[in-house]
Structure 1
Amino acid sequence: MTKWGRDDSRLPKALRGLRLPLVAAPLFIVSAPDLVIAQCKAGIVGAFPALNAREADGEHPLLDTWLTRINEELDRHNQANPDRPAAPFAVNQIVHRSNGRLDRDLEICVRHKVPVWITSLGARVEVNEAAHSCGGVVLHDIINNTFARKAIDKGADGLIAVAAGAGGHAGPQSPFALIREIRDWFDGPLLLSGAIASGEALLAARAVGADFGYMGSPFIATREANAQSGYKDMIVSSGAEDIVTSSLFTGVSGNYLKPSIMAAGMDPENLPSADASSMNFSSGSSKPKAWKEIWGAGQGIGAVREVADVASLVNRIEKEYLHAGASLAAEFAP
């Protein structure tokens, strides 16, 4: 049971007792230890992609260094703040066959006993077994009900429903349709991604049947984020009309900031498409270096009005969430 009275007893232990029902999405390049630690200290699940930790040839694996730092800093925080412990963290594994680092990264994550694993671009039994071997909880991101069933059949513990409006590789379906179809057969942990950028949106995610919101784009515009200042400022100055959906940059449909596409000398209204066969994570990202400043974002960025620290952002989300919940509860009071 959370302090607000939400019954989360059916959820895996790692996902219980959070300050808010909120998981931070792992963001390419942007999510690094500073951001993850701040998110966890603020009481929500912080996350980063394993492929963000990239060392030079011959150097010690940076992923190992990052996980050591995250575990140590969160442990110090918990010892100093027993009444306000940090939330757990998550590591995102790209399960695509072109990810040549996967086996090594799995071994490192098992050794560090990563509590929450987020898997993307393919559900694989052996990855889920690796996570379970160290007590980890696996959340797999999906864009439709068919993929959801496959993920659970292969051993995932929970699902991240990536609906229309999400940043990065977004699905095309309405969150109302996607969550409802999944909830017809699945009672496990379910997260919703897609324009979750305010406390009101988080409450809506809960109302439609999700256990958690999955928020990414607002964290780009935080001081702890490993993002260029131009990227952060573009998030603040843009809205839903500034989001373009295209498969050109990675081979899979995704949502990107129109001004960044224009800055690269392209017409956002006339972009060619690309095939999924062009996706390759052997170098750490599916995005060619030529497009490294094509910046992803979701349609919820109109709610982001300033570059703030993570603690202030989570405080805002909590305030909006509780106010929206109280307002709706009043409507249904006898």
Structure 2
Amino acid sequence: MLKKIKTPFTEMMKIDYPIIAAPMFLVSNADIVVQASESGGIGTFPALNYRPIEKYVEALKEIKSRTKKPIGVNIIVNKSNARQNEDLKHALDNGVELFITSLGSPKEVIKEAHKNGAKVLCDVTNLEHALKVQDMGADGVIAVSSGAGGHAGPISPLVLIPWLKTRLQIPIVAAGGISHGSMMSAVLALGASGVSVGTRFIASYEAQVDEAYKEAIIKSTPEDIVMTTRVSGTPAAVINTPYVQKIGTDLPWAMKVLKDHKMTKKYMVPLIHLMGMKSLEEAASKPTWKTVWTAGQSVGLVEEILSVKEIYEKLITEYDESVKNLSSLGLD
């Protein structure tokens, strides 16, 4: 196995490999985070995976007692998350080294994190947003492209990463469609300095989700992934289960009108988010006919359940083989 992969992102975070175990709603847990960081990458989790907030504080303390390596916390920074300030404070109090912000302005997180020497990566799907967060002082961006699980971006990583690279001075971490080391070498060649891997870690021994969810990850192909607005009002990638087929992938007409109307939007958006979180919670943790499982197109290359450590070793070995194969294709 490679001793280290040196990129601007690994240098910034003082880690061996530029692989983030992505923060996945209801999937990421203490075991995944600890094992990812201990494997030389960096484990992250959404603060909202732990409710009430006392459980979140317990999780932070447990993770920090089990690894001395850097870890990360994902904070939703829009108004529907009333906990965001508390989540940030507790993470900083417990020495969290990395924050990943989603769905809103990261200004406050950047300001507070930098006081502690922590780094902030911001989810972006286009250049306009990336330039905004760079101007705010973000330490890097996570380029969320088409193919990602959950809230995927609309642009191919083949275009998004080089496009961001033309104007950004901060590291770019690629997210979407990465479950094999050759994909990692491809995005690094495009200008990324790290990868955020989510779907692959759902099919891990450490993931405490229903076994049927893991089996669905292994058996699904990229063609089984569909985009739906039913979960949160924002397009999200899910496995096309019979339940998803039954309810359809668009919001009901009345909800869509209320969501889009400026007078009712501020009430409707948090309500849709809450309803979506409840349905995801049921589907991930127990057998239910309301099966909504988030996943990305990279399911196509997930063929077995492995430990987090084994997934890291596999990704790095595949990456090494891919780089060696590419070097043999150089110009004579």
The correspondence for 1:125, drawn from 90, 101, 107, is 107
| Structure 1 residue 270, shift from structure 2 partner | 7.3
Aligned CA distance change for structure 1 residues 286 and 204 (closer, same or farther; 3 Å): farther
* Superimposed CA distance per residue, residues 170-209 of structure 1 (whole angstroms, 9 cap, x where no aligned partner): 0101112211221111121110111001001111110111
**1:295 paired to 2:321:** no
SS where residue 327 of structure 2 aligns? helix
Q: Which runs of 5+ in 1 are unaligned?
A: 76-85
Q: Which runs of 5+ in 2 are unaligned?
A: 284-291
Task: Tell me, yes or no, if the aligned pair for 1:279 and 1:286 is still in contact at 8 Å.
Answer: no
Equivalent residue for 1:68?
A: 61
Distance 2:271 2:26 in 1: 14
Distance 2:230 2:103 in 1: 17
Pairs within 5 Å for 1:80-229: 86=69, 88-229=70-211
Equivalent residue for 1:325?
A: 323
What residue identity is the alignment partner of 1:307? I
* Superimposed CA distance per residue, residues 42-93 of structure 1 (whole angstroms, 9 cap, x where no aligned partner): 11111100011112xxxx7122111111111113xxxxxxxxxx4x211000
SS where residue 177 of structure 1 aligns? helix
Aligned CA distance change for structure 1 residues 269 and 147 (closer, same or farther; 3 Å): closer
Distance 1:328 1:164 in 2: 24
| Structure 1 residue 263, shift from structure 2 partner | 3.5
When the two structures are aligned, how many residues end up with a matched partner?
312
Give the RMSD, CA atoms, in angstroms: 2.3
Aligned CA distance change for structure 1 residues 124 and 254 (closer, same or farther; 3 Å): same
| Structure 1 residue 272, shift from structure 2 partner | 5.0
What residue identity is the alignment partner of 2:107? V
Aligned CA distance change for structure 1 residues 155 and 320 (closer, same or farther; 3 Å): same
The correspondence for 1:53, drawn from 46, 50, 55, is 50
Distance 1:66 1:200 in 2: 33
TM score, norm. by length of structure 1: 0.87
* Superimposed CA distance per residue, residues 140-196 of structure 1 (whole angstroms, 9 cap, x where no aligned partner): 001111111111122211100000010000010111221122111112111011100
What residue identity is the alignment partner of 1:289? K
* Superimposed CA distance per residue, residues 219-242 of structure 1 (whole angstroms, 9 cap, x where no aligned partner): 001010121111111001101010
SS where residue 140 of structure 1 aligns? strand
| Structure 1 residue 102, shift from structure 2 partner | 1.0
Aligned CA distance change for structure 1 residues 291 and 37 (closer, same or farther; 3 Å): closer
**1:28 paired to 2:28:** no
The correspondence for 1:41, drawn from 10, 20, 38, is 38
Structure 1 stretches (4+) deviating beyond 6 angstroms?
Answer: none
By percentage of residues, which structure has more helix? 2
Aligned CA distance change for structure 1 residues 291 and 214 (closer, same or farther; 3 Å): closer
Aligned CA distance change for structure 1 residues 103 and 201 (closer, same or farther; 3 Å): same
Task: Tell me, yes or no, if the aligned pair for 2:15 and 2:41 is still in contact at 8 Å.
Answer: no
| Structure 1 residue 312, shift from structure 2 partner | 1.4
The correspondence for 2:246, drawn from 266, 276, 280, is 266
SS where residue 308 of structure 1 aligns? coil
Task: Tell me, yes or no, if the aligned pair for 1:114 and 1:134 is still in contact at 8 Å.
Answer: no
| Structure 1 residue 271, shift from structure 2 partner | 6.9
Distance 2:185 2:32 in 1: 24
Task: Tell me, yes or no, if the aligned pair for 1:12 and 1:137 is still in contact at 8 Å.
Answer: no
What residue identity is the alignment partner of 2:21? A
